[in-house]
Structure 1
Amino acid sequence: MKYLKELLMLVVSLLVLNVWLFRLNKETIYRGGDALNMIEEFAVYGLNETMFYIIGALKVLSATGLLVGFFYKKTIVPCASIMAVLMCGAIVMHFRVDDEAIKFLPAGLMLVSSLAIIYLDRSIEPQS
């Protein structure tokens, strides 16, 4: 189970960092509404540029914190929790704009993975 937790930490971190650092201005089938990039997607959801930067910073910091968790375990649960909350928000936004199911997939998978990381961390690591 320890290896599953570590695999999920790596997958969530790398996928989120990939989306927010390298695919930000690229079109994908997962963008909300008819958005062609991340800034347009936030506009589709009715969110302004400030929210774009706040959410982006939280996601990048949380993803980085999950990677730090390989060396400093205390960052795992807080970062996975923040990621789970952000992914719940992403799912709500997809619902609000009536997106088709495929567009929910990445946020849904990241939510389930983040919750699994929290569960596995709590059940594997001894609590003090």
Structure 2
Amino acid sequence: MDIFIIILKIIIIIGILNVWLLRFNTKTEWRGNGASNMNEEFSNYGLPSWFVPVIGFLKIGFAALLVISIFKTDANLGLIGAVGMGVLMIGAIGMHVKIKDTLKRSLPAFLMLVMSAIIALF
């Protein structure tokens, strides 16, 4: 089970870094309401522009806790990272629902939520 949890943590970490660092200004098929970048996506959700760096900081921060928890297993860092990420993913799903996005666009957030829940439970 330990290897499985580590794999889930790595998938979350790579996913967050991909979206928030590599593809921040890129149009993807997953962006809310067909936005062309992260700022436009948050605008489509009706969120203020200052939310973008705050959510980005939180997501990268929780991902960092997941990284650290791979190497420092005696702390609750993995639990904090997983629960924090899960809460953010619930919010992401809520935003997709709010703007009546297709289920496909909510899929990455849903999968991250499931992986975060598994990490938190085990």
TM-score (norm 1): 0.91
State whether structure 2 residue 100 is matched by structure 1 residue 91: no
Equivalence for 1:6: 6
Query: Alpha-carbon deviations, 1:55-87, whole Å to 9, x = none?
Result: 010001111110011122321000110000000
Identity %: 40
Number of aligned positions between the proteins: 120
| Partner SS state of residue 70, structure 2 | coil
Equivalence for 2:64: 64
CA distance in 2, matches of 1:71, 1:3: 12
Letter in structure 1 aligned against 2:67: L
* Regions of 4+ moved over 2 Å: none
Matches within 5 A, 1:21-60: 21-60=21-60
The Cα shift of 1:14 comes to: 1.1
Point out the structure with max Rg over C-alpha: 1
CA distance in 1, matches of 2:113, 2:67: 17
Query: Alpha-carbon deviations, 1:85-109, whole Å to 9, x = none?
Result: 0000000000000000110010000
Consecutive unaligned residues of structure 2, counting only runs of 5 or more, are none
The Cα shift of 1:34 comes to: 2.5
What is the aligned-residue RMSD (CA, Å)?
0.7
Letter in structure 2 aligned against 1:20: W
